[in-house]
Structures are given as structure tokens and as C-alpha cells.
Amino acid sequence: MAKTIIVSNRLPIKIQKVNNELVYQTSEGGLATGLGSIYKEGENVWIGWPGLYVENKSTKEQIVDELKGNNMRPVFLTEDEIKDYYEGFSNETLWPTFHYFNNYAIHEENLWEAYVNVNQKFCKEIIKVAEPGDTIWIHDYQLLILPQLVRFKLPQSSIGFFLHIPFPSYEVFRLLPWRKELLNGMLGADLLGFHTYDDMRHFLSSVSRLVSLSHTNGQVDVSNRKVLVDAFPMGIDYDKYHETAASAETLKREVRYRSSIGNSKLVLSIDRLDYSKGIPNRLKAFELFLRNNPEWRSKVSLLMVVVPSRDKVERYKELKEEIDELTGRINGQFGRLSWTPVHYFYRSFPLPALSAFYRMADVALVTPMRDGMNLVAKEYIASKLDKRGALVLSEMAGASKELLDSILINPNDLNQMVEALKTALNMPAEEQEHRIGNMQASLKKYNIHHWVKIFMERLHYIKEKQKRLSTQLLDDQIIDDISERYMNAGRRLIFADYDGTLSPHTDDPSTAGPDKELLQTLKILAKDPANRIVIISSRDKTTLQNWLGHLPIDLVAEHGVWLKEADGEFHTIDKIENRWKYEIRPILEDYVGRTPGSFLEEKDYSLVWHYRRVETGLGELRMRELTSHMKYLAPNMNLQVLDGDNIVEVKSLEVNKGKAASRWIEKFSNADFIVTFGDDWTDEDTFKAMPEHAITIKVGSAPSIAEYRIQTYKDVRKFLRTLANNGKLIKEK
């Protein structure tokens, strides 16, 4: 049966050596709980580092055996690998950059190499267990390039990826020397999940600017796959926090802590030691609060838990010193024998202790400079059985997009934080209940199990969609078969689009025309009396005539406005209206005026606004503006608006390539071999117009109704040369 493979840097277990014995301790983290329902089932497995350096072969085997029983599989990493891949590239390059502390980031080639090597090591472990049909779910910034590594080895696999930290804006992301490798690495997945919409739009903007891939509705076309990018705000195990808050152990602890702290109000702060969490600013805000509001002295304390983390990294050591100093300064300045302003703990606590803190706190002060989500804020709300309390939350945390009933602050604005603290401490009981009640209802619904379920459903959805859109890539074998049909046919029709299909897309008139090689191929094909070659293009008739008019082939210009048979002249199908141009031209000219780099092309029966050379982003913005502007005008004027490859074309509703192609199909109804090539979405009309026995071939990676796919215009030419060579396959690079 198909299984699910979870992959993350760390396994949800901690192994320690105590008195030469291995001690296993399972993790209580949110992710481990949420994914517990998956990885513990049947043959499913979680792959990751067990958190211990092991050299000895028999110890490794012992660990592998022990973990196997718990559906886990270790990736053993050496001390050097942890230093360079984890502490180095992950935590000193990616972490600061992704949290907008790019001036803290180091860019060292050897760390990147270690990152690549360790990602490859993870890939090897996956390959050992993965079978066709399995689902692989990769987590977080330590494994950004793993999706692509797995894709190379298992092209058909179903791969999901979730990023737990923010994805920075393009302006910050592009500072990384390995930006393209990282993006391409991520795009190996089928589904890419982020906490918020902002993260996903930053990612998509980097994708279109740095690796030139387009996207629509969060779907990116990557070679012949559609990759779905979406926001999945991570939830918590709501019931667990709610129930722990009611447990006897938690209540016992609350009584104990209360007796030592006294009756003053409590403001709670809990984080890992990290500069992204904004701890110094929080302390400064609390200091300012006590300075400006003497009436609150002795009446409120800050309970600050800082959980040791990454303390081998220099920045973290400095941060720890800064926090120690600020705490000392506040306590020294305002403290009394009977009152400690800041109760500071540099350690972690068991869950019931944490739960007691959540229960006791009148205010939770969660003020990160940047945070992917921030689960502490959610856990605090879930633990409030009496719905009493208030949450002050940074707008830079992903959680701020959901917890709208919190008091939102900018962590750089100390005065605003002071005001928020005052508002929170003075909040009337009914308001507290109302706000916490609202937030609880949402957290209960969008809990961690819901998050896992929705992610898996979306992965399934995109995989099914990929299957529906999958067109078969033309290989030598299929070309051979088609050539045989070609040779056996008595009457043949060959349709082809021009730009992007027979030649590369270009704006430069000097390079846009056909080269000798193409002309030669078309000439040989056209010489065969059994063949009828039809070029169906959006180009105007004069251009087509100049380029191809001297060949004995048929031409269709302007998407089907003008038709010409090899020995005849260009003529229109029916009388097509074009007076609308007087009205529409000034509108398009206005867009040219406002958008440097764009230009207007006028054809007999259509107007085209080109924006290929416009600044990335601005062109797309204007394109959307223009298409929505035209949406209101077009139906009344019997026009259609096509947004193609960096163009917006306005033309009469009666014209399309499919209609034109149908004329040939009707006239040459005895054709027993029909093939058609096209790369643009307007060529889909031609594909649709084809009879069942026709062979339809899409050029490029965009989704299509065509039966087959070919990579570029070069492959089309090679194919045509094969046909011209009496169906004998041309072997070349």
C-alpha cells in the first residue's frame, strides 16, 4: 500500500547517551503531535536526524532498529556536517535572511556545499524507502533543495513541502548568492505551503523574477508540471492545550507559583533565544512602561522564559548578554524587596509549568521582529479556560493575520507597545471574554489536525490535476510511429503556428524571420504533392507574405482574418468589422504612454499592446488593468481580449485560429494524415477544431488539450526534418 514519508531536519525524538546507555525521549512539539496521526500509521515513516553524533557502526544499527519500531528512520550526521549545514548555512545564512536580518547573514561557499551534501544524504535515505505512489512531505528551511533532488530520482513521486519560517520579499531573497538553486530546489515539490499569503506572494514574485516562471492562481508551470503554491496557516493541538490547562498537575503548579510571585498582575513572555523574537525591544518597552506609569510599579511583573537555543552561534551569545543586561538594568532600577519587575528564566519548562504560566498571565506579550507563525500566541489563547486575559501581538508574526482580536503592535514602536500594554492591563472583563472567545473558536476549528488534513488534500488535488493535464512527451519511438503513418498516408495536412513553434519568440524584426534551414525544410515538405502545409499565425499578412510567401504553402494571418492558398492571394473569410479600432486605439495608446518599454502593433483587424520589455511587475500590473478595462467594452463591441505571451490583443469575436483551420479540414476532408503544432494558448482553438484522427502537438510546458508535447521549436524543426527525410528519424543533438 502507498505510504507517507515525513522528512524534517530533526526526528520527533531526542536520543541521549546517559551512563553509556541510549535514552529515547519523544518530542511533544506541535508538529510532532500533528503529524503523529500520519507517521505512526502502518508503513509510514519519519526521516530525520536523531540529534546525536554516532560513529560506532553497531550503535547506529541499534538506533536504526529501535527507531524502526516507532516508524522512524535516522539520517546520521557528523559534527562537521551539523556545524556547516545546520549551524552554518541553515542558521547563519538562511535563517537571518528569511527573517529580514540579512546584515547578520554570512555567505560562504563551503557552507553551501555542506548544505547540498546533507540534502543529498537525506535524499538517499528517502530513495531507500520510497516506492511508486508514496507521498513525501518535506519540512522547513534546512531542506529547501531536497524536493528537486528527490524529483530527479523519483520523477513521478508526490512531494509536498512546508516552510515554517517567513519567505522574505524578493528584494531580500535576491541577496543570496544561491537564490536560483534554492528556488529551483523548492520547485521540485508539487505543493509548496507557507504560513501566510504574504509569504506565498513573496515566493511567487521571486519565482517570476529570478527563474522566469509564470504563475496563475498560485500555480506555477515548471517544465511539464503544475506546482501549487498556497497558504496553510499552521494550527495547534487545541484540545491538548485546553485540557492541560485543566489538569490537576497544572493547577497544583499554579498555586505554588502564585504563592511565590504574590498577587501582582503578570505579563508573560516565552520564546526560544532568537534575535527574530524581539526580546530586547520587549524589555525596553516594559522598562518604558514602568518609567512612564509609576502607578503600575509593584503591581505588575514580567515573567520572561527564554529557552536556550543555538548558543554556539556568536549572534545568539551576544543576544543572551544583551537580555541579561537589560533585565539586570530594569530590576536594579525599579525592583523592591517585595517586588521583582522581571522574573527571568533562561531554561525550558515541562508542559504543565508552561500551561500554568499561560493560565496565570493577565497579558501575553508576543512581539517578534519576524515570525513565520508563532505558536506561543495561539497556545496562550487555547489555555484560557475562563477567557480572561489579553494578547499583545506583533504584526510581524504570521499569527497576526488570524488573531485579529489581539492588540496588534509594531515591535519597533516602543511607545505603541507601552500603550498596548496599558490597554491590555486595563481591558474590561467582558471585552477580554469577547476577544478570547472569538479567537478560541477560530483556533479550535483551524487546529493542527485540520492543517495536516487540508495540506494532504491539496497535495492530492494538484497531483490529480497534473495527471489530467499530462500530455505525453514525444520521444523517438512515437516520432517513428507518426513518421510511419505519414509515409503510408495518401493525403496530408500539416498545420503549424509560427512564433514559438517554428521559430523562437522575438521582438527584434531582424531576427524574427525564418532562417535558411527552416525555409529549406518547409520547401522539401511542400514539394511533396501529397502534402498541404498551413502556417496559422497571429502575424499580419504582409510580414507572413515577406517571410513565407514565396513558398508553395498556405498562410493564415492575424489569427484567421486573412487566408491565402499557395497559388492564390490573401483574402478575408467574410466582411469583418474593424471600425472599432478608432475607439480602442486611443485607449491602448494611453497605456503605451504610461508604460515605458511597451508599444502598440496595429494589424488590419486587431490591435496588440506588447509589454515584453517593460519592467517586470509593472507590465503585469498594466496588463491586468487593461484587460479589466477592456472587459466592460469588449462584449458590447463584439470584440475579444486575449492576454498572450507578454501581449494583450484586441480583435473581433468572429476570428479565431480554429475557425480558419476548419476551412482546410472541410476542403481536404480526404486527408488521412493531419498533424498540428502550436505553443500559444490561441493554438488551443486549432487543436479543438481537429478531427479525432489528427495528431495534436503542444510546444512547451504550458497545460494543453493536445495529445503530445514537444519541448521547443527546435524539436518541431527536427521532427519536420524527419518527415521531410521520408520519415527517417534524424539523429542529432
* Site residues for ligand GDG per CB under 6 A: 28, 30, 164-165, 234, 270, 272, 305, 307, 348-349, 351, 354, 371-376, 379
- Among 3, 83, 81, 85, CA closest to 42: 3
Contacts of 197 (CB under 8 A, 6+ apart): 231, 401
Q: What sections of 504-576 are H helices per DSSP?
A: 509-512, 516-527, 541-548
**Which helix (DSSP H) or strand (DSSP E) does residue 595 occupy?**
none
Shorter beta-carbon distance to ligand GDG: residue 257 or 668: 257
Residue pair 213/220 in contact by the 8 Å Cβ criterion: yes
Residue pair 147/5 in contact by the 8 Å Cβ criterion: no
Residue pair 147/193 in contact by the 8 Å Cβ criterion: no
| Alpha carbons 181 and 123: distance in angstroms, whole number | 16
Shortest Å distance, C-beta 437 to ligand GDG: 22
- Number of other residues whose CB lies within 10 A of the CB of residue 541: 23
- Among 226, 661, 256, CA closest to 465: 226
Shorter beta-carbon distance to ligand GDG: residue 380 or 605: 380
Shortest Å distance, C-beta 35 to ligand GDG: 12
Shortest Å distance, C-beta 358 to ligand GDG: 9
Shortest Å distance, C-beta 102 to ligand GDG: 17
- Number of other residues whose CB lies within 10 A of the CB of residue 489: 15
Residue pair 393/403 in contact by the 8 Å Cβ criterion: yes
Shorter beta-carbon distance to ligand GDG: residue 86 or 570: 86
- Selected catalytic residue, list 237, 271, 274, 497: 497
Shortest Å distance, C-beta 305 to ligand GDG: 6
Instruction: Express the helix, strand and coil content of the chain in percent, nearest 5 each.
Output: 45, 20, 35
Shorter beta-carbon distance to ligand GDG: residue 403 or 626: 403
Residue pair 693/707 in contact by the 8 Å Cβ criterion: no
Shorter beta-carbon distance to ligand GDG: residue 146 or 376: 376
Phi, psi angles (nearest 5°) of residue 661:
-60, -35
Which residues, in sequence order, are bridge partners of residue 599?
610
DSSP state of 218: T
Shortest Å distance, C-beta 33 to ligand GDG: 10
Shortest Å distance, C-beta 260 to ligand GDG: 18
Shorter beta-carbon distance to ligand GDG: residue 159 or 354: 354
Indicate the residue type of 299. K
Shorter beta-carbon distance to ligand GDG: residue 274 or 287: 274
| Alpha carbons 160 and 186: distance in angstroms, whole number | 10
| Alpha carbons 545 and 569: distance in angstroms, whole number | 10
Contacts of 152 (CB under 8 A, 6+ apart): 188
Shortest Å distance, C-beta 171 to ligand GDG: 21
CA angle at residue 645 from 641 to 651, to 5 degrees? 25
Phi, psi angles (nearest 5°) of residue 716:
-65, -45
Shortest Å distance, C-beta 625 to ligand GDG: 36
497 is catalytic: yes
- Among 393, 503, 372, 389, CA closest to 436: 389
Shortest Å distance, C-beta 379 to ligand GDG: 5
- Among 11, 1, 134, CA closest to 68: 11
| Alpha carbons 611 and 519: distance in angstroms, whole number | 29
Phi, psi angles (nearest 5°) of residue 490:
-95, -25
Shorter beta-carbon distance to ligand GDG: residue 268 or 607: 268
Shorter beta-carbon distance to ligand GDG: residue 444 or 485: 444
Shorter beta-carbon distance to ligand GDG: residue 261 or 351: 351
Shortest Å distance, C-beta 104 to ligand GDG: 15
Grid coordinates in use for 231?
A: 497558504
Grid coordinates in use for 192?
A: 509548496
Alpha-carbon Rg for the chain in angstroms:
32
Shorter beta-carbon distance to ligand GDG: residue 385 or 705: 385
Shortest Å distance, C-beta 266 to ligand GDG: 16
C-alpha distances out from residue 351 to 266, 301, 700, Å = 19, 22, 54
Grid coordinates in use for 92?
A: 547563519
SS3 label, residue 654:
coil
Contacts of 84 (CB under 8 A, 6+ apart): 110, 111, 113, 114, 115
Shortest Å distance, C-beta 188 to ligand GDG: 21
Phi, psi angles (nearest 5°) of residue 348:
-105, 165
DSSP secondary structure of 351-395: HHHHHHHHHH-SEEEE--SSBS--HHHHHHHHT-TT---EEEEET
Torsion of CA 181, 713, 218, 448, to 10 degrees: -60
Extract the runs of DSSP E, i.e. beta strands, from 398-502: 407-409, 472-473, 492-496
| Alpha carbons 360 and 265: distance in angstroms, whole number | 9
Residue with cell 478531427: 691
Residue with cell 513558398: 551
Shorter beta-carbon distance to ligand GDG: residue 251 or 633: 251
Shorter beta-carbon distance to ligand GDG: residue 274 or 685: 274
Which residues belong to the active site? 497
